[in-house]
Structure 1
């Protein structure tokens, strides 16, 4: 090649080097990286956000969020935000797993973790709330089923006092007959554990018929405390106990009907629930035990109950543990022929 021909060749090389330097200089950018409370400013030739973070020795961990995303191309000066994920404990039944996220609202955390809730399921804190300081979310899976049970409605025995018989003598006027009902119970399970079983509906297919017995007795009741009272009739009944717990009455404090009887009075020791077809609401009663349990005593028929049919009586006992211990037993219920003082209605609790 002649000397004259070399000039254009070297000129082309020079132009190429200058062009390469110009291209490289065109990718030089000033970027700012904000990470929690730290801010780093640097110059980089990186072409993407992810490459710039690598250049800055910033390692991303599970759940971290970069704004803009790692794939974003850098075309000028740029501010990059790195949001560090924090651990959240997701508790479901006996299991716990750790999930890393930058979200703080419970609903968004669950969505990010792929957790779906059914209508009955519960979550604490609520989905609309911010995560608590302990960064723990409890998921309670709630399942509901309904169970049908046939139940015998035992007939009552009503004693009609008469002067035509000697004291202590009895005479059967008409035989009783048990009734039959179908009870539907609502069972509620939390994380597979039965936590509530409530009577949801009761259909009586056959009403019980009371046995009627005449008895020649003086119409004078002498209570366990030696107090004489005259009464109109006496009925042998199956007794249970109830209290103000949700399991017993199906209401929580704050409910306008919480602690209020069917008659509109306040539930208290001495108040009982009856079937108004057997014992008229408002009747003054004396409940006498037929076993070693002490008498429930003077009481007032002010309440009813969906399961209280026929010769059933439900005694209000304020203390939950005592109500459970009472169980089921038979009692004599005297319908009094004279009023009683409210202070006499001490109930089982005392």
Structure 2
């Protein structure tokens, strides 16, 4: 009797042990990872499918199927320990160079692979709101600002100085240009950074220069020459032209502005702008170094004994500069 009991217990133990081994051999460990999430799901599957395993873990298979594509079929029985990856069908907005964003659906896991998929080139100077190895997530927006560096040269004119020297050989009040002044040049390298076509930062660096030539003006310090009443009565002359009187004036040069003169004429060489309270419009003048002129225009900066001389080109006007001369009022 005892022998029979022992045999029975032994058989039961063998059967129980056999079932345990069989269960262990059928139970599989599965790790599920999501392309758009950091967390993973680890579970044991006993002859079931991926869909069943995730349902057991509390997930809604229908929602997962709509948003993810697995690395194994949803309904395939899991027969070994395995790692399964769910690739997100993520909606992504892409904005490049300040343009309106475009919407895409992608299953690429990272920003870099998504941009490669869309054939979007990112330069080393460009700025992004995400890194290349950042995970793609649903409803993500990727912004790429295009940064451009432009380098060009800029030339600026440097005004020349005027140096006055006393000359006893000239009558008091008379002036004579001994050396014409010439403007110089300052050459700059201008570097500008543009973000999506709009200037952000500008750097200006002097790289070369041409120094201006100082204008030397002789100023008379001798006795002032005056005309007697009889000489004025008989009509004094300058360059063969009769004049009634003289005056000291500061002269400047200007060129075409596209406007008519104050008297309605088109400016030309010989047209000068004056202060009509000093020189009435229509007055004929002779200006040494310039020639005959007619007072036909006025100007905001022309005040008192200032006369603005018209030249055909900007170069001539600059070359004339600012001179103090004796002006002859013609008869």
TM-score by length of 1: 0.42
Report the structure number with the largest CA radius of gyration.
2
TM-score by length of 2: 0.43
